[in-house]
Structure 1
């Protein structure tokens, strides 16, 4: 008994999911030899070509299917998927809307519309299509995963985690759920768990470019740059125009110090479609990763209005302006984008922190809440990971931490901390001047002074990054070798255990009574050195001496001129081209420490 066409197509589709493309193609070719117009076989073969990275072949199959019957939602949805792989987002949306008009209950088109709008940041449209997908297939694992990604984009971590877990409870091998959960674990800094989830997803779908990107990103965050590059290069050869692959490959090149090559690759990619908003924004992100702040500023000034007006583009330009030391321009752009009230802030004030505020951004900007608390009462709402440091502000007695008040502020909330910073810098220059804004606790500081060495040798606080390409413990060991200084480790995370390599260093991290206790230790030290991190920000906020070792793609708050830091006058900057060896920076840091402590 011969196999029927539907049976062959069913088997081929299962083989494609397992990555067995040769076997699947053999079955599909059998169908097409006898039935050249078989729609399902043409679409399946196009899907096979897409999975294998053969996009021109996929395009020929889909065009053939479309020419034979242009009114098939399945064909249109696959044409949309192909357009996404080629970063043609408007074309993808057009195909999907056409499929939805032909068949409103065609689930793949509805779900993909939700995902595209979410990735584009159009949350209203994403929510609309996601609700429709949930109505069509309640409890469907793909809907649960799309909903989790939607919650994650809104920074609702616990809700996203619960949805991913629910999807995996239904289907333990659901690849997008495994990949999404891997991203969440990486965000939490649990790279081991993230790596296991990402590897499992990749092994289940070894030809899927999205799972490969997530695994490569996890390798990169864990410091395994060579593994990350080796993996992503395989997919870059297949998906030369797929934005996630191109951008992840560039990011890894930059992390390895190959900045010129990364920019060259992305520039060539952009030239293929110079008006494509997705490619423009992607290229701007790569410029940020490379620390090419001037190029970002220049490029943003030449973009079409529909692209330059996007929030993400304006935000990237604001970061560039800050990094270039043009903070007043940056705050003016922020104020216009946020439609902030003009004029000098007036107390009482209510400031709020959105979910997952970058911790170091918060630490930099809390100075403005502190400044205004010296004038009048401040209410602060919203979640913070550094509540203990808020209590160390010199004017902490004037700041009341409250739950959100529905009668206050924009959308029932107070203004963002960054909003207060913008209004202060633009309208109240006297309140924006730097003054130390953290204070040590005298009794606890004295305990630290008694515990630290009492001889005449200078005490230098040190910390480092746990993985490449950051400044590593062995780089600091080279700096301190043979010097008459006492290194005091302020490391408080898992990297603290690397101190077994450096027996000469004092492990202050083992005795820290919470993150806020770093304030008391730092106030006892002669100098603090290291990469961008909490100890240096605390030194700067105390007005204590410090030296920040930074790559050219440093964050906005390390803006300055030469060695001078704009935001922390007591902290000197050593800014060097991106280089995982930190060779030049090590020499410069050694000289800077000697100069400070001579």
Structure 2
């Protein structure tokens, strides 16, 4: 007679090879002999899980755990069945049990980390995954989960590094391949994302996520017809996959048929099995094509009943709602998106007196939110400076990712401390957790709203010791100095799009680009390549301080120019980020910057026709202003 161990091993091999019916027959034969065999119960639960019979899977997995709770694999199957049945509490308990046992599976770490991240506990999820790496080593599943965590928090550099590490270990790992492509898509590097996304799609052609990213790549590469067809296919393969619908709407916007796409999405949202998530996604789709008022109208009813939603739903609703309020300058409504925020308690105050709160706020340590990138924090750093600027004030400590330290250190009165969590607890440099005020919560303080233009004071300044070399370098060149920036690749604004507007200018055009986009300077010999000499942001600020005007799209140079109070023109489209909210054509956060916004989604090769006359008029105005100064 065949040994039980041999039967269980054979069934497991069938499962790995996806021969589900063969595995089921063997597991059932084991249970005919011993109905309380935990491994067979768990194995049959896995079979039912793969067949979509979630109730059966949950019942058999529960029986397996009750028979032998010391097997981490049985708890893992129970967790997976519970998650498939939307029973998160059971899944959490099962995973916690699995992780307390000897040799917990890597998948148990990954699933528990996902649940922690969904609950808004990203730091705890990261620590758990670091522990998993200590237990299992660099396993692709753990690495891809960690990369996904970084990606969802906007930590693109870390996500890319970890996903590439997983891909080195297993070159055909579909999750790692898709993740590398997804991160590159987030960075809008569609050209380099394309081979990874295409490979992931071919490895798993039925996966709607990879097909959606492929549609995003096609949009980014300007292949709109193919993008629409691909995104449309996603909605047909899996019509409840919301990311696919959002991408379809964006693709149709470039074709000029966004209202039709939004109408289709709206009809789907009404019948979606998760109506709250569908409404949030629909609002996000409206926001992504510049229809912010419509997005607000969809979300306002949810805000009124926010306490009836789960914590995850609350975070999703308030994130999109806050973005919309900021984008439309509805400052007073922003505070309402901070659900459960008690400023008095956070600042240790007994009253709500504005002066008391302000003084308490000056004494707090600031913590930069994990999901914030450098462009998110610059407009908020304006309000991070202590109100007390006397010599006795030692300034304010700001903690955050080390990559943000250079920009924070440029702001007077702020002292930066990196709090990056290392990959291993063995690193004694891991900082202690501190009680700090989140940078994002600055927006909930009533007086921290963009002030009128005449109340703005520059808060980033060039370092005096860096100025002489730039003054000497530009001294022999004709004024005015116009600094320009551009994007590295499509669908962004390229130098060739800007160049026709600069022809015949009597002053000096200065390139402030220092990254890979510098290659576009080839053939534009009249433009001074200042960026090649940049060694730090101190060089950028010194050069910007010499500029009479700055022109270009969203990017670090434009934010720094705005924080320095330098005159600038920003070229943008309706999907611009919240920090480019405008008041009568002027940036609300950076009053020295005027906004040149397209009416719809246009190809930037049309920039000269759209804005050429206005840009040339502004440059000529700078010439006239200099002549008046001389006179």
TM-score where L is the length of structure 2: 0.70
Q: Distance in 2 between matches of 1:70 and 1:400?
A: 53
Structure 1 220/308 Cα, relative in aligned 2: closer, same or farther at 3 Å? Answer: farther
Larger CA deviation: 163-172 vs 563-572: 163-172
The aligned length equals 551
| 3-state SS, counterpart of residue 302 of structure 1 | helix
User: How many angstroms does 1:512 deviate by?
Assistant: 1.4
Q: Retained in 1: the 8 A contact 2:154–2:372?
A: no
Q: State the match for 1:380 in structure 2.
A: 397
Q: Distance in 2 between matches of 1:90 and 1:387?
A: 40
| 3-state SS, counterpart of residue 589 of structure 2 | coil
TM-superposition CA deviations, 1:315-370 (whole Å, max 9, x none): 22122111111223314543854655443243333222244531112111212233
Q: State the match for 1:517 in structure 2.
A: 539
Structure 1 118/177 Cα, relative in aligned 2: closer, same or farther at 3 Å? Answer: farther
Structure 1 413/153 Cα, relative in aligned 2: closer, same or farther at 3 Å? Answer: farther
Greater relative contact order (CA < 8 Å, ≥ 6 in sequence)? 1
The reply to whether residue 545 of structure 1 matches residue 567 of structure 2 is yes
Q: Distance in 1 between matches of 2:536 and 2:125?
A: 40
Q: Distance in 2 between matches of 1:9 and 1:179?
A: 28
| 3-state SS, counterpart of residue 385 of structure 2 | helix
Structure 1 73/476 Cα, relative in aligned 2: closer, same or farther at 3 Å? Answer: same
Q: Retained in 1: the 8 A contact 2:92–2:115?
A: no
Q: State the match for 1:344 in structure 2.
A: 358
Q: State the match for 1:491 in structure 2.
A: 513
Q: Distance in 2 between matches of 1:325 and 1:194?
A: 34
Larger CA deviation: 350-359 vs 534-543: 350-359
1:452 to 474, 494, 498: 474
User: How many angstroms does 1:527 deviate by?
Assistant: 0.5
Structure 1 149/546 Cα, relative in aligned 2: closer, same or farther at 3 Å? Answer: closer
Q: Distance in 1 between matches of 2:564 and 2:152?
A: 35
Q: State the match for 1:329 in structure 2.
A: 333
Q: Retained in 2: the 8 A contact 1:331–1:426?
A: no
TM-superposition CA deviations, 1:262-313 (whole Å, max 9, x none): 4234223213328622212221222221222212221111225434970221
User: How many angstroms does 1:143 deviate by?
Assistant: 5.7
Once the two structures are superposed, the pairs formed by residues 260-279 of structure 1 within 5 Å of their partners are 260-273=259-272, 276-279=275-278
Structure 1 192/508 Cα, relative in aligned 2: closer, same or farther at 3 Å? Answer: same
Q: Distance in 2 between matches of 1:510 and 1:162?
A: 26
The reply to whether residue 416 of structure 1 matches residue 416 of structure 2 is no
Larger CA deviation: 212-221 vs 276-285: 212-221
Q: State the match for 2:416 in structure 1.
A: 401
Q: Distance in 2 between matches of 1:531 and 1:444?
A: 26
Structure 1 166/8 Cα, relative in aligned 2: closer, same or farther at 3 Å? Answer: same
Q: Distance in 1 between matches of 2:157 and 2:616?
A: 48
Q: Retained in 2: the 8 A contact 1:371–1:431?
A: no
User: How many angstroms does 1:138 deviate by?
Assistant: 6.5
User: How many angstroms does 1:457 deviate by?
Assistant: 4.6
Q: Retained in 2: the 8 A contact 1:369–1:378?
A: no
Q: Retained in 1: the 8 A contact 2:208–2:237?
A: no
Larger CA deviation: 225-234 vs 317-326: 225-234
Structure 1 263/491 Cα, relative in aligned 2: closer, same or farther at 3 Å? Answer: farther
Q: Retained in 2: the 8 A contact 1:344–1:427?
A: no
Q: Retained in 2: the 8 A contact 1:536–1:548?
A: yes
Structure 1 337/274 Cα, relative in aligned 2: closer, same or farther at 3 Å? Answer: farther
TM-score where L is the length of structure 1: 0.73
Q: Distance in 1 between matches of 2:88 and 2:404?
A: 47
Structure 1 455/158 Cα, relative in aligned 2: closer, same or farther at 3 Å? Answer: closer
Q: Retained in 2: the 8 A contact 1:424–1:432?
A: no
Structure 1 369/281 Cα, relative in aligned 2: closer, same or farther at 3 Å? Answer: same
Larger CA deviation: 574-583 vs 213-222: 213-222
| 3-state SS, counterpart of residue 597 of structure 2 | strand
Q: Retained in 1: the 8 A contact 2:215–2:228?
A: yes
Structure 1 134/570 Cα, relative in aligned 2: closer, same or farther at 3 Å? Answer: closer
2:497 to 469, 472, 475: 475
Structure 1 450/440 Cα, relative in aligned 2: closer, same or farther at 3 Å? Answer: same
Q: Retained in 2: the 8 A contact 1:335–1:423?
A: no
Q: State the match for 2:244 in structure 1.
A: 245
Q: Distance in 2 between matches of 1:178 and 1:164?
A: 8
Q: Retained in 1: the 8 A contact 2:369–2:440?
A: no
Q: State the match for 2:175 in structure 1.
A: 176
The reply to whether residue 366 of structure 1 matches residue 381 of structure 2 is yes
Q: Distance in 2 between matches of 1:282 and 1:142?
A: 28
Q: Retained in 1: the 8 A contact 2:380–2:439?
A: yes
| 3-state SS, counterpart of residue 93 of structure 1 | coil
Structure 1 165/391 Cα, relative in aligned 2: closer, same or farther at 3 Å? Answer: closer
User: CA RMSD, aligned part only?
Assistant: 5.2
Once the two structures are superposed, the pairs formed by residues 72-87 of structure 1 within 5 Å of their partners are none
